Chains A and B, each alone.
Chain A
């Protein structure tokens, strides 16, 4: 059985769904962040897989690298915000951080 594009895509699709589930189901902000990381990784797998099989070549890699960069930046900022939320609410339970509602 030759491992092809579809295998990678399926892996990435499932990983994406897992990440999505994490984002949707968890209350803890850090957990949500982790879900997000999963999604980003899923996306990266796609980029690299298409680079390998879809003719994107090095461009796919570059895109993946940018995603990683973004992920890093996002993680840094998100965590900084998290810290602020924590200082404000004394917790990071997203269910109760619903000021956006108003």
Chain B
């Protein structure tokens, strides 16, 4: 059991554990903060997968951006002081059903992953992916990149428009 393996299990546990807290917690604030750890775990996994740039991006955007956004959302849409901060769940039946479904889904997915004979072609270890990504974005994926930037712009403007006070 080397360090990498250990690190993997740690991050995997971090991710899945807090992920479970996110979906199971009745308190929406707890969920939000648990999400932070989940993202952090995912970032760790990226590091283990030699995706340094993505790990940084994960932390910066997810944790610094999206999560803050979500927390704002929580705060703006929930009366902070009341018990209402706790998010209700649906009925027991539905809960059971969805849980069963989710478990089934997980089982199926795992089964598929395990039973599939994946084409394995380990990539060469690269120290830094940033340069490669930058090259790819501005050459091979230029149009997608531009489209994504426009999408972001539109999303920002749209969000601002939708959320503005009428």
Contacts and interface: CB of A to CB of B under 8 A. Distances in A.
Direct contact of A and B (CB under 8 A): yes
Interface of A: 1-11, 13-22, 24-31, 33-35, 37-38, 41, 44-45, 48-49, 51-55, 57-59, 61-62, 64-66, 68-77, 79-84, 86-87, 91-93, 95
Interface of B: 1, 4-5, 8, 12, 15-16, 19-20, 22-23, 28, 31-32, 35, 38-39, 42, 45-46, 48-51, 53-54, 57-58, 61-62, 65-66, 69-70, 72-74, 76-78, 87-90, 94-95, 98-99, 101-103, 105-106, 109-110, 113-114, 118-123, 129, 132-133, 136-137, 141, 144, 148, 151-152, 154-156, 158-163, 166
Contacts of B98: 21, 24-25
A15 B162 contact: no
Given A27-B89, A45-B45, A79-B70, A64 B119 contact: no
A18 B133 contact: no
A57 B140 CA distance: 13
A14 B8 CA distance: 15
B162 A80 contact: yes
A69 to B, nearest CB: 5
